[in-house]
């Protein structure tokens, strides 16, 4: 009886190593994807907040340079492009229902998934353009 149990263990000796070799790359790819998409979600939140800050600055009639500075300060660590789509009329004019709009964009590239794609020689992974438009009623 002891001999049969020992023989079975000898036959299954490398089975766990083979199973690990099959499962580990898939597990690491899933974990890497979770990390990259988490980074992307955090960057999207920063872009959205930057667009809100920019729209607020335009609604209060700040200059385009001040708006750009405020947007860049809100998007710490990101390289963003800012476009004022709708500006507000000058202060002191009649009350309007117009809204200021600022569009903020950031080009996001994956860190872990890009490395995995390059391992297989598929070239550079595509970048994702994160964008958000902030809007706020003028003069307030």
Q: Between vectors from CA 20 to CA 15 and to CA 25, what angle results, nearest 5°?
A: 150
Residues 104, 52 contacting (CB under 8 angstroms):
no
CA dihedral 121, 124, 126, 127 (to 10 degrees): 150
Q: What are the pLDDT tens digits along the chain (140 aa)? A: 566 677 666 667 778 888 888 998 888 888 988 999 999 999 999 999 999 999 999 988 888 899 999 999 999 999 999 898 888 877 666 666 788 899 999 999 888 887 777 777 666 667 889 999 999 988 75
Q: Between vectors from CA 36 to CA 26 and to CA 70, what angle results, nearest 5°?
A: 180
Whole-model pTM?
0.78
């Amino acid at each position: 009886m002891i001999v049969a149990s020992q023989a079975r263990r000898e036959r299954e000796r490398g089975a766990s190593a083979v199973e690990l070799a099959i499962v580990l790359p898939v597990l690491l790819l899933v974990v890497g994807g979770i990390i990259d998409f988490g980074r992307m979600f955090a960057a999207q939140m920063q872009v959205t907040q930057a667009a809100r800050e920019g729209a607020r600055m335009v609604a209060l009639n700040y200059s385009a340079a001040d708006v750009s500075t405020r947007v860049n300060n809100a998007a710490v660590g990101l390289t963003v492009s800012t476009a004022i789509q709708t500006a507000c009329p000058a202060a002191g004019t009649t009350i309007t229902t117009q809204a200021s709009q600022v569009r903020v964009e950031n080009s996001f590239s994956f860190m872990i998934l890009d490395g995995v794609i390059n391992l297989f020689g598929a070239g550079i992974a595509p970048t994702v353009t994160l964008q958000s438009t902030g809007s706020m009623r003028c003069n307030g």
